[in-house]
Structure 1
Amino acid sequence: MVQYVIQTIAFQLFFLMVYDFLLKKETFFNWNRAYLLGTALLSLLIPLIKIERFKYVVSQEYIISLPEIFLGNTKQQEPDVIVLDPVIILPKTFWSWELMFFLGALIAMMLLSFKFLKVYKLLLKNPKKKVGNLHIINLLKSNVAFSFFKYIFLGELINENEKKAILKHEMVHVKQYHSLDLLFFEVLRILFWFNPLVYMYQNRIGELHEFLADAQAVKTENKNTYYQNLLSQVFDTKKISFINPFFKQSLIKKRIVMLQKSKSKQINLLKYALLIPLVFGMLIYTSCAQEQVKNSTEQLSISEQIETLKASLDAKEGQLTDEEKSSLLELLKNVNFSKSESNPWKISVVQNEVNEDIDVPFAVIEQVPVFPGCEGLSNNNDRKACMSKEISMFVNENFNTKIAKEHNLTGKQRINVIFKINKAGNVVALQARAPHPALEVEAIRVISSLPKMIPGKQKGKLVNVPYSLPIIFQVADEKSDTNKG
């Protein structure tokens, strides 16, 4: 989540810099409107897009990675177990990041509701009339002018000659659905209340709406008269961020400057083409970026292992004798290959054992054990992901974080847990390693209390399946907590 927010803010910053330095002064108002709305949406979507082909834009020739080799029947059986995603246990403080986020979003939502209430009160308290599809609200004892969707609010104190020009201006806002743009950014302000760039986006789109409406209004009005209307009366409009006010002091000068500006040359439209390489570069970045905590391993099937070695042997055609090839292929029966993001290849040479109660590794198992609630998923990868999520939630809810204070533990504590889901669906053969024995005991207690699962199957028979689970316990810094208090 944190990585997503950081990427979103970074992309919005790039997009706004391009707008301010290259596009803002152009008179392509509709193009600029599409740019602001489109890039605001793209900044939210691009971090979620992962294109596999873009992962290999950087040539593998520049990546040197030596394999890890485990010989014999070693206790460390990473390739033969299902490695669950790490469980991160953060200190349970009242002012957690999640609570701050939801509290900020709640306040932002309340503010938006208050703005809606102000507009609704104006609708109730003032006389109104319908002209076609428009609703004209006559604001009593007011010199305010603004619009909101199909409602145009005009103060009764505004000069009748000026009302005509103002009405044409506000009708542009209505016809082009400018209120919809502003509400889109209001929603973003609720979800990303902590992000100042969202407010900057809304400010830019608000300015642009006025330029668009002015450009349309002066087509049927005398420019000099229109300028006088803008300058003669600078009223205090209601400060509501999702309305389109006609009189706004901070915008009057900019609107007049933009009205006097000559139309931009068509060749300047090429500036918008800059968006293509910009988005392309962002997609490459998000596709290549590795998740901070993810350390899952994708195992190859036996047939893929054989094909991999055969391809390697074919590449060495003429360098190996037939006898050497046969020996290598025979050796393959006792070799496990696996791939991971952090290490392209891991090789494990395992000794053959004769054991009636076989532990089936993830590389070959047909059906992994299923956590309660994950039964509807159709393939092993989805079931594994579901189990990781459920176990992570279970450990976070049940792990006794008071252990840290009881044993004066500080900093990051890593606990490695190994267990099996047996033929009955129960957790067995639990082992844990941690910097302190109390953490090992607590980890075993929590994992042993996992609910009964649907056991794994291989060739229609129930089997044992081994798992490895890293738990990272981030102990709260008492000194910093004391300072905060």
Structure 2
Amino acid sequence: MIHYVIQIVAFQLLFLIVYDVFLKRETFFNWNRAYLLGTAVLSILLPLIKIESFRNVVPQVYTFSFPKFAFETQNPIVLNEVVLKGTSTSNSILSHVPNILLLGCILALLYFLFRIFQILKLAYTNPKVKEKDFSIIQVSNSTLAFSFFHYVFIGEKIKTQERESILKHELVHIEQKHTWDLLFFEILRVVFWFNPLVYMYQNRISDLHEFIADSKAIKQNKKQYYENLLSQVFDIKSVSFINPFFKQSLIKKRIIMLQKSKSRKIQLLKYTLLIPVVFGMLLYSSCSQDRPTKDVAKQEYRVSNESQEKASSEVLQSIADLKESIAAKGSMTDEEKNALKTLMMLVSPDGLKEPYFKDVVKYAEIPYGVIEQVPAFPGCEKVETREESINCMSKELNSFILKNFNTNLSNDLGLTGEQKISVFFKIDANGQIIDIKARANHPDLENEAIRVVSILPTMIPGEQDGVKVTVPYYLPIKFQIKE
């Protein structure tokens, strides 16, 4: 969730930079309106779009040294997920973030509804003149001048000669349905009340509305229109989703924009900047997708088919060369034994059964798809099938982890929600747990997972063709923490 919000903020910031630098000063007001509305929606949707093909835009480079390839190509036995339960009474500010965000949304919604109520109160407590497509609300003892949907609010203190210009201006807002734009950003302000960029978006669309209305209303009496803007500053309610005629901070901008020459059509090419910007955002959001937990083991050891074929041919050639050398001498040096230790991890299932290699197969790490007899938890050795042995191992490991894992860490570390821990380990030819590695969002969780796995009892080692071998395992742990 936090990553999603960060992406929204980052995308909105980039969109606004493009707007302020390249588009803001152009007189393509309707194009700018579409840009602001469109990019506000895109900033919310793009982080949710994951295009798998984009993940392969930058090809991965593999290094094919034998030790690295051997480690990556091992296919571990994937054990059943261990689910731990924990509680947290931490007063960390992070644990209260969801509640703070929700409270902010509620307060923002109440404030929004209160301002709607104020406008409706003005509409129903003041005289109304019904026209064909709109209604004029005569606000008593006021110099208000703004529109809201099909209502035009005009204070009774406004001079008669100025009313016509104001009315023409506000009718443009009504015809082009500008209130809907402002309400859209108002909803965003309720949901993303903590995001200052939403407020910036709303200010820019509000300015654009005035430029659009000015450009159309000024066509009939330009001199009178300027006089109205410069004559006085009307009372303006502090409401972000109405279209006021006079707004002191905006009058100067409106006059400057009215005096600008129309932008040349060639400047429309600036909007094509949106194409590479959106493409880059799609690329980022697609490539930043987290890998599913159930695929961690496969992803950890994945290599391309082409790479496997190339490496396999090299391995077979190396084995053939070593076999010829050892046969010629009738003995095996330590260097040759170490070489075979590496090569045997890549050899085919048929190769493992060659009697000639029985004396070195104990050095190999045998993949799940090849091994004849998997390691067994003490007490599980009497089961009949490999699948039953794996299930028994999972059950006993699950029970052991649940009993020995320190779930109080959730309170000590102030953790909340769901924590994922990925544990990799091997059971060697002596049944010992070796090469334990763990990954989690917090180092203390990694250390605890390693500690618990390291105190597992000695296992009954796996066997291949009657020889005890080393077998890799992957154990997923889900730590669910409630406050």
Q: Shorter-chain-normalised TM-score: which range?
A: 0.5 to 0.7
Match of 2:477 in 1: 469
Match of 1:69 in 2: 71
Could you report, residue by residue, the CA deviation over 1:241-261 in whole angstroms, capped at 9, with x for unpaired residues?
100000110111111110111
Match of 2:249 in 1: 250
CA contact (8 A) 2:33 2:208 kept: yes
Instruction: Considering Cα pairs closer than 8 Å and 6+ residues apart, tell me whether 1 or 2 has the greater RCO.
Output: 2
Amino acid at match of 2:281: M
Deviation at 1:287, TM superposition (A): 1.2
Asked if 1:312 corresponds to 2:312, the answer is no
Match of 1:205 in 2: 205
Q: 1:410 to 1:13 in 2, by over 3 A?
A: closer
Deviation at 1:348, TM superposition (A): 3.0
Deviation at 1:196, TM superposition (A): 0.5
Deviation at 1:233, TM superposition (A): 2.1
Match of 2:55 in 1: 55
Amino acid at match of 1:468: P
Deviation at 1:22, TM superposition (A): 0.9
CA contact (8 A) 1:68 1:347 kept: no
Could you report, residue by residue, the CA deviation over 1:213-236 in whole angstroms, capped at 9, with x for unpaired residues?
0011112x2211100011112112
Amino acid at match of 1:23: L
Q: 1:137 to 1:158 in 2, by over 3 A?
A: same
Secondary structure of 2:367's aligned partner: strand
Q: 1:411 to 1:114 in 2, by over 3 A?
A: closer
Mapping for residues 82-481 of structure 1, pairs under 5 Å: 82=80, 92-93=90-91, 96-219=96-219, 221-291=220-290, 295-297=293-295, 308=305, 312=309, 316=313, 330-331=349-350, 348-349=367-368, 351-353=371-373, 355-356=383-384, 358-359=386-387, 409=412, 468-471=476-479
Could you report, residue by residue, the CA deviation over 1:180-217 in whole angstroms, capped at 9, with x for unpaired residues?
00011011111111110000000000000000000111
Secondary structure of 1:69's aligned partner: helix
Deviation at 1:296, TM superposition (A): 4.0
Amino acid at match of 1:280: F
CA contact (8 A) 1:145 1:245 kept: yes
Distance 2:60 2:92 in 1: 46
CA contact (8 A) 1:82 1:361 kept: no
Amino acid at match of 2:476: S
Secondary structure of 1:280's aligned partner: helix
CA contact (8 A) 1:67 1:347 kept: no
CA contact (8 A) 1:144 1:154 kept: yes
CA contact (8 A) 1:85 1:294 kept: no
Match of 1:80 in 2: 78
CA contact (8 A) 1:128 1:137 kept: yes
Q: 1:71 to 1:225 in 2, by over 3 A?
A: closer
Q: 1:70 to 1:158 in 2, by over 3 A?
A: closer
Structure 2 unaligned blocks of 5 or more: 322-345, 354-364, 375-382, 392-401, 424-437, 439-444, 453-473
Q: 1:54 to 1:127 in 2, by over 3 A?
A: same
Deviation at 1:471, TM superposition (A): 3.2
Secondary structure of 1:103's aligned partner: helix
Could you report, residue by residue, the CA deviation over 1:416-435 in whole angstroms, capped at 9, with x for unpaired residues?
699xxxxxxxxxxxxx9986
Amino acid at match of 2:265: Q
CA contact (8 A) 1:83 1:296 kept: no
Match of 1:482 in 2: none
Q: Which moved more, 1:82-91 or 1:48-57?
A: 82-91
Match of 1:388 in 2: none
Q: 1:42 to 1:71 in 2, by over 3 A?
A: closer
Match of 1:458 in 2: none
Q: 1:361 to 1:70 in 2, by over 3 A?
A: farther
Match of 2:41 in 1: 41
Aligned residue-pair number: 379
Identity score, percent: 46
Distance 1:157 1:412 in 2: 61
Distance 2:7 2:84 in 1: 23
Secondary structure of 2:262's aligned partner: coil
Give the greater-gyration-radius structure (CA): 2
Q: 1:63 to 1:277 in 2, by over 3 A?
A: farther
Distance 2:263 2:110 in 1: 42
Amino acid at match of 1:241: S
Distance 1:119 1:30 in 2: 27
Secondary structure of 1:239's aligned partner: coil
**How big is the alpha-carbon RMSD for the aligned residues of Structure 1 and Structure 2?**
4.6
Query: Relative to total residues, which structure has the larger helix share, 1 or 2?
Result: 2
Deviation at 1:26, TM superposition (A): 0.3
Deviation at 1:158, TM superposition (A): 1.0
Distance 2:422 2:179 in 1: 55
Amino acid at match of 2:371: Q
Match of 2:380 in 1: none
Match of 2:331 in 1: none
Could you report, residue by residue, the CA deviation over 1:2-54 in whole angstroms, capped at 9, with x for unpaired residues?
11111111111111111111111100000000010111111111111111111
Deviation at 1:320, TM superposition (A): 6.0
Distance 1:235 1:64 in 2: 75
Asked if 1:8 corresponds to 2:8, the answer is yes
Secondary structure of 2:210's aligned partner: helix
Deviation at 1:352, TM superposition (A): 1.1
Amino acid at match of 1:30: N
Asked if 1:26 corresponds to 2:26, the answer is yes
Distance 1:85 1:332 in 2: 39
Deviation at 1:411, TM superposition (A): 8.0
Distance 2:183 2:133 in 1: 21
Distance 2:69 2:216 in 1: 67
CA contact (8 A) 1:189 1:199 kept: yes
Deviation at 1:310, TM superposition (A): 11
Match of 2:394 in 1: none
CA contact (8 A) 1:218 1:226 kept: yes
Deviation at 1:157, TM superposition (A): 1.3
